[in-house]
Amino acid sequence: MCGRFTLVTAPEKLMSRFHLQDIPFEWKPRYNIAPGQLIPAILADGGRRRIGQLRWGLVPSWARDEKIGSKMINARAETLREKPAFRRLVERKRCMIPADGFYEWKQMARGKQPMRITMRDGEPFAFAGLFDTWTAPDGHKLHTCTIITTRPNELVADIHDRMPVILRPEHESAWLDRERFDAEWLQSLLVPYDPQAMKAYPVSAMVGNPKNDRPECLEEAPWS
């Protein structure tokens, strides 16, 4: 699964990397992003990309209440077209979640060691995501998302049995294009990222607590 990630990239660099015209909300570094929080997400309308905030944990439009969101922070790539919550979203409600690292926990002899996984060059990247809008009984609308996961690449396999789908830059525009729906081709994008382009290092156990959202979360720590 993917249950924690980071986004500390400067806003100017993020806008350049993802071809955004502006960021219409207060931007601040996020060192320990957790489910249930508002997270940046990129959508496209008429070919123009825009970034907004969605709550992490998908609440399908047909859900009885919003509590289901805590169980739907991730969507398995292998079964997207089989699950009622995701099947129709793949057609028209695809998004990207910008990040510059994510955390997973590696089982060690003395317990679990948190690891931060990034690109070797430190550049930001995009998770493949899906979004939906749920309307509460009082009319309030809740916009939520989920991060798609796949089998791990060789790097992540030593840490965890799943990893988030990281889109290759050349596939990002097609993933966002609501007018394009080739189920088989889109499915072919939901594969492990090149392990040679990534690295992993141990970090402090403080990342286990979402209240700890500070620079120290990114620092390399001794192996437990």
Choosing from 2, 95, 145, 217, the catalytic residue is 2
- Choose the catalytic residue: 104, 145, 172, 217: 104
Q: Radius of gyration over alpha carbons of the chain, in Å?
A: 17
Assess whether 2 carries a catalytic annotation.
Answer: yes
CA separation for the pair 132, 142 (Å, rounded): 8
Query: Is 104 noted as a catalytic residue in this protein?
Result: yes
> DSSP 3-state assignment of 56?
strand
Q: Where are the alpha helices (DSSP H) in 7-52?
A: 11-18
How are strands ordered across the β-sheet holding 111-119? 30-33, 5-7, 101-108, 111-119, 198-202
CA–CA separation, 148 and 85 (whole Å): 13
- Please name the amino acid found at residue 87: R
> 103 - beta bridge partners?
116
CA distance 105 to 102: 10
Tokens for 9, please give them.
């990239």
Q: What are phi and psi of 164, to 5 degrees?
A: -70, 150
- Nearest of 113, 162, 143, 110 to residue 3 by alpha carbon: 162
Q: Which residues are catalytic?
A: 2, 104
